Amino acid sequence: MTLPWIIAGAAAGLMAGPRIRASVLTHSTGHADPARRACPTCSCEIIPARARWRAMLPPTGRCPACRARIGPHAMSAEFAAALAVAIVVARSASAPEAAALTWLCLAAVPLAFIDLAVRRLPDALTAAALVGTMSLLAVAAFTGHRPGSLLHAVAGGAALPALYLAMAVIRPGGMGFGDVKLAASAGAALGWFGWHAAASGTFAAFALGTCYIGATRVLPKTRNTRTIPMGPFILLGALTAIAL
């Protein structure tokens, strides 16, 4: 894609930031807890129940009432989304392909922040990531006459979660079923680019995860960390393979 498309993709990522922040706030709860709609500090309602799916939070990352920090740090979600979308748009060969990868990025950013915050990957977001990515890749395959790429995407979307599922069964504490579900959409995107990309993305994910584990053994504040948020590394590994 040309430079104007890349700039437009980055702008779209920036504009999606406030909505991403609302999604992070809503889903950053325990597995059995209800969705959060109020500020954890002052209990001021921030996300009305009827407007949950279109709610937005300010880029400052502060509660409008008490000014306490809610969700990601200021502009972090916006910059993450802008960078991710710009990268995938630059690597896309067509508008439908760019749309599919952009959808995945805009679902991946809140998932990464949520996993880092509360060590979980909500089913609603992982399902949306998979359905949207596969649907748009099907459109890209149909309009671009690339049935082989779509078959590779389907295969990748099945093979990568199968790998993570096997690891979750073998070592339950090291891999969660949220990671397995997220691997389906990441595997589909990687498979679209071929088996080399799928292998590279998987290797990058485990390499980044290993570096994180090493850091938790050295840094005092993270030395006692028992659970590893694998979701961000699955997504970063996929983005790295797509970028290269």
Cα 102 to Cα 89: distance, rounded to the nearest angstrom: 7
Predicted pLDDT of residue 30: 81
Predicted pLDDT of residue 189: 96
- Domain containing 141 equals 3-243
Give the position of tokens 């990309």: 197
Between 50-64, 69-83, 210-224, the lowest mean confidence (pLDDT) is in 210-224
DSSP secondary structure of 131-161? HHHHHHHHHHHHHHT-HHHHHHHHHHHHHHH
Provide the domain count of the chain. Answer: 1
- Whether pLDDT at 216 is above 80: no
Predicted pLDDT of residue 84: 95
What is the pTM (predicted TM-score) of this model? 0.89
Cα 152 to Cα 52: distance, rounded to the nearest angstrom: 35
- Whether pLDDT at 1 is above 80: no
15: confidence class by pLDDT, cuts 50, 70, 90: very high
Cα 3 to Cα 11: distance, rounded to the nearest angstrom: 12
Report helix angle 123-144 to 95-118, nearest 10.
170
Give the position of tokens 């995407």: 153
- pLDDT tens digits along 130-162: 999 999 999 999 999 999 999 999 999 999 999
Please provide residue 62's backbone torsions phi and psi, each rounded to the nearest 5 degrees. Answer: -120, 145
